[in-house]
Structure 1
Amino acid sequence: MVAPTVREIVPIKMNKDGAILVSKTRVTLDTIVGAFNDGATAEEIAHQYPSVPLADIYSVIGYYLRQKKQVDAYLKRRAKQAKEIRKFNEERLNTSGIRERLLARSKTGRK
C-alpha cells in the first residue's frame, strides 16, 4: 500500500507592512521562531499565545526548520528595520527628561 502524499499549507501570511503573521492573528513569525529558538516548546508557545492553534505552531516550526536560511534572512531584515525605526523615533521624539516630567505631573495632579 502506498501512503498518500499530503501537502499542507503553512498558516502564514504577509501583511501590508511586510510582517509575516501566523494563523490569521497578529502574532508574527518572528515571535514564534524567536520563542522556539529561545528553547520554548510548541506547547509553551501555544500557552503564551492562545490565539494561535497548537497545530499551526508545529506547522510554522516545521516550515522554519525546512526553510531556515530564508526565514533567518527574513528575520535579519526585520531586525534591521526595527533598529532603523527605533533610531528614527529616538531622533524624532525628545525622550530626555520624560520620566521627570511624568513624575512632576503626577505630583501636581495634572494630566
Structure 2
Amino acid sequence: MALAPILAKSYIEQRETGYWVVGTRISLDSIVYAFLDGESPESIAQNFPLLSLEQVYGAIAFYLANRKLIDAYLEAGEAEFQQLQQDCKEKNPLLYEKLKAAQAQKHNAV
C-alpha cells in the first residue's frame, strides 16, 4: 500500500482582518517580524512552543510567496498602531508618559 503525498497544505488562514497560523492564536505577524529580525526558523519554533517547525516554515513560505501583500498589511498595522499611540498621547499625556517611562525602564533592565 503506497501512501499519497500531501500536494498542498495550508499553514495560514485569514480571520477578519488578520492572518493566523491555522488552528492557533499565533499571528503571522509574530513569525514574520521574528524572521525579518534574523531569527532562524528553529529559533522561532523554540520561541513559540505551540508551533511545529513545519508550521514555522509554512508561515515563512506563505510570507515569501505573498511578500508584497503581507508587507502592505504589516505597514498598515504599524500605521494604525502609530495612530493609536498618538491618540493616547493627546487624550491622556500623563498616562502616556508613565507608559513610556515604564517601557524605557524595562528596556534598560534587559
Shorter-chain TM-score above 0.5: yes
Distance 1:88 1:97 in 2: 13
Written as runs of structure 1 = structure 2, the 5 A alignment for 1:22-101 is 22-93=21-92, 94-95=94-95, 98=98
* Offset, 1:89: 1.7
Distance in 1 between the 2:73 and 2:85 partners? 18
Q: Return 5+ residue gaps in structure 2 as ranges.
A: 100-110
The 1:96/1:44 distance shift into structure 2, 3 A limit, reads closer
Percent of residue pairs identical: 29
CA contact under 8 A between 1:33 and 1:64: conserved in structure 2? Answer: yes
Which 5+ residue runs of structure 1 have no aligned equivalent? Answer: 100-111
Q: Which residue of 1 aligns with 2:14?
A: 13
- CA displacement at 1:85 relative to structure 2: 1.2
Matched residues in 1 for 2:57 and 2:29: separation? Answer: 15
Q: What CA distance in whole angstroms lies between the structure 2 residues aligned with 1:81 and 1:97?
A: 20
> Normalising by the residue count of structure 2, what TM-score does the alignment of the two structures yield?
0.72
* Bigger proportion of residues as helix: 2
**Structure 1 residues 24-33 or 4-13, which shifts more?**
4-13
Distance in 2, Cα, partners of 1:10 & 1:36: 16
Distance change in 2, residues 1:33/1:97 (3 Å): closer
Contact 2:41–2:56 (Cα < 8 Å) also in 1: yes
Please give the root-mean-square deviation of Cα atoms over the aligned residues, in Å. 2.4
Q: How many residues align?
A: 95
Aligned partners of 1:72 and 1:96: how far apart in 2? 28
The CA deviation at 1:25 is: 2.9
State the distance in 2 between where 1:51 and 1:44 align: 13
Residue 20 of structure 1: how far off its partner (Å): 2.0
